[in-house]
Copies of this chain bind each other. A is one copy, B any other.
């Protein structure tokens, strides 16, 4: 079989691009033997042509600083966008599609903000736009949701999709570290940026769950639709209480369908720390690993687990997409993205969840009755309570039955106004 040449233009050649070039070199013969595709990286757009890169020998003229020229080059068949960020990535992806080139990207920010525009451009061009690497690094979750579960009525997706925060929480849980020490450790190991905001406040996870929500529900859901709470307020005490109650604390990115089936779904989409039962498969996801847990009414429970970041795992996901897009291109086909309708976003106030609440109160008769009264007033039912003495104070730890977020917030408001309540230490949602 004569292998069919597919010429790849690579935009960006850093942490993911460089291992991708190596993989294509190392695996090229095996890939050609199995698929009949000869994949050649013929153009690489970089920011500076003079920086040293860990790359194999490349023909002269492969490297360029003109990304626009690569996206439009008639001698490039397929474009891989690994620049990240919104501009110029957006413009370059649109240009490649307009020039009838399939595009593979790992750009979560771009997809979570401009997905609908890009999907429409791909559909109009009749070319693939594939983005496995945008969510969960090497974990094939995008393909599972886009293809395997296309006919499945997905009810909820819960993901540990940020390795940095999972590493920090694992260090706090397994190593007893404080948040500050665990963050410093993560920064020392290169897992966290010097400014860790995007990770620890849940923005990175938010972009990823917006993408998963879009493809799971066939709806236009963007990063701005996602409610966020980060992990910076989680204390060693919260972790210890969670453990004593049979839970671990994880930063979860969650999307769920609130209404019954039908077009134009009502969807909740949020990122926050949550108490996860130790027996739940997500509880065993440690260190910087990622996992996505999917609940469908037919398929039941599914979980996909693996390396959510890192150059080689992410390059592996990009390579899977390149093979798919290159094969389709050679056959003159494309995998359609399907239609994306509008979605109604359920406000966080309407969330129904169980809650964990940790209060410090005066240790005197009648206080528990007063606190319990504040719950009762808002119809928030208490599932369990533990009390421990703290000198002249006491700590009350509650887990509620499922309640409406707005009612729990109103309960908190009442509690704050009681003289006997000294501090509200924490409020965490509990996964059932």
A333 in contact with B333 (CB, 8 Å): yes
Q: How many copies does the complex hold?
A: 2
Is the CB of A300 closer than 8 A to any CB of chain B?
A: yes
A91 at the interface (CB under 8 A from B): no
Tell me, yes or no, whether A307 is within 8 Å of chain B by CB: yes
User: Of B263, B289, B338, which is within 8 A of A35 by CB?
Assistant: B338
Q: Which of A26, A29, A144, A148 has the most CB of B within 10 A?
A: A148
Decide yes or no whether A196 CB sits under 8 A from chain B: no
Instruction: Please tell me if the beta carbons of A23 and B316 are within 8 angstroms of each other in the complex.
Output: no
Within 8 Å CB of A319, what residues of B? 151-152, 298
A165: shortest Cβ distance to chain B, in Å? 19
Does A347 reach chain B (CB closer than 8 Å)?
A: no
Report the count of interface residues on A (CB-CB < 8 A): 64
Contact code string A276-315 (vs B, CB < 8 Å = 1, else 0): 0000010010000100000010111111111100101101
* Contact B298–A312 (Cβ < 8 Å): yes
Contact status A339-B33, CB under 8 Å: yes
The verdict on A181 contacting chain B, using a C-beta distance below 8 Å, is no
Task: Judge whether A152 and B299 touch: CB under 8 Å.
Answer: no
A322, CB-defined interface residue at 8 Å:
yes
Docked pose: A355 CA to B10 CA in angstroms: 47
Give chain B residues whose Cβ lies under 8 Å from the Cβ of A306.
Answer: 299-303
Sampled A-B contacts (5; CB under 8 Å): A139-B302, A143-B144, A304-B304, A304-B305, A333-B333
If A29-B262, A298-B312, A303-B303 are given as contacts, then 7 extra A-B residue pairs at C-beta distance below 8 Å, sorted by A number, are A27-B151, A35-B339, A140-B302, A284-B284, A299-B306, A299-B312, A301-B305
